[in-house]
Amino acid sequence: MIFFLKKLIVFLDLDKIIFAVLAIVLIVHPLKLLPSDFDSLILITVAAIATLQVVYGAFEELKEKRVSIDLLASIALIFSLLAKEYASAIFINLMLASARILGG
Distance CA 67, CA 28 (A): 35
- Predicted structure pTM score: 0.82
90-101 pLDDT per residue, tens: 999 999 999 988
Across 81-90, average pLDDT: 94
Q: How many domains does the chain have?
A: 1
* Structural domain contains residue 3: no
Q: Is 94 domain-assigned?
A: yes
28 part of a folded domain: yes
Pseudo-torsion of CA 76, 82, 87, 89, nearest 10°?
30
pLDDT score, position 50 = 93
Q: Is residue 33 part of a domain?
A: yes
Q: Which domain holds residue 62?
A: 13-103
Q: Is pLDDT of 11 > 70?
A: no
pLDDT digits 0-9 by tens, 35-82: 989 999 999 999 999 999 899 889 988 999 888 888 999 999 999 999
Residue 64 lies in a domain: yes
Q: How far apart are CA 22 and CA 12, in angstroms?
A: 15
Cβ atoms of 15 and 97 closer than 8 Å: yes
Residue 44 lies in a domain: yes
pLDDT at 104: 64
